[in-house]
Copies of this chain bind each other. A is one copy, B any other.
């Protein structure tokens, strides 16, 4: 059902996108904390109450933006998944994640910063949310790497995941995933100021070290 049937449906679809676009614009300048439904409505020239026909609450609008952000990051990562060797693919994805985060810092903060209090991530977000780590897993899988020296308890915990989405080195991929986003978050949130900031060299080094740890060459 891609084509809207009635004019009303089409208008609704377009306005929904317009609202998200304007909200994203405000997000980029003011941050999620200062995102105001009234300000969005004002920019769109409509009454604030009218927005509630499209998003039942501020949190629902934020959720929509969260899903979009996960998908935008996932798209960027997938597009960067190029290269002759698994190592090149891995590097491409990791650097694309950082690039996207720097270019969309408030959207990044929205999905990898403090979760909104009292807010439970709806089911819709988990699919888009795992795209990056899933991609890293695919690259590891293609490289034919294998987890080694994993404690029994941990191996048992990861067995079902490895069975569902075989990567060969799920534990190490998850490790790499936490390191990657830890590094990006620290850079964006200002923790590296005074040490590894600007972080280009440090990031490149860390990505290569972790890739080696996963077993890529």
- Partner-B contacts on A (CB < 8 A): 30-34, 106, 109-110, 112-118, 121, 126, 129-130, 133, 150-151, 153-154, 157-158, 161, 170-171, 174-175, 177-183, 185-186, 189-192, 194-196, 201-202, 204-206, 209, 213
Contact = CB atoms under 8 A, between A and B. Distances in A.
Contacts of A171: 202, 205
Interface of A, secondary structure class, is: helix
Given A32-B114, A33-B116, A114-B189, A194 B126 contact: yes
Contact of A182 (B181, B202, B209): B181
Q: How many chain copies does the complex carry? A: 2
Contacts of A33: 33, 114, 116-117
B151 A189 contact: no
B179 A178 contact: yes
Contact of A191 (B109, B110, B129, B183): B129
B114 A205 contact: no
Contacts of A202: 154, 157, 171, 174-175
Contacts of A181: 182, 185-186, 191
Contacts of A194: 126, 130
A7 to B, nearest CB: 39
A161 B194 CA distance: 9
22 contacts: A30-B118, A31-B114, A110-B114, A113-B113, A114-B189, A115-B190, A154-B202, A157-B202, A161-B195, A171-B202, A171-B205, A174-B192, A174-B196, A175-B202, A175-B209, A178-B182, A179-B179, A181-B185, A182-B183, A182-B185, A209-B213, A213-B213
Contact of A195 (B115, B174, B196, B205): B174
Nearest to A114: B113
Contacts of A177: 186
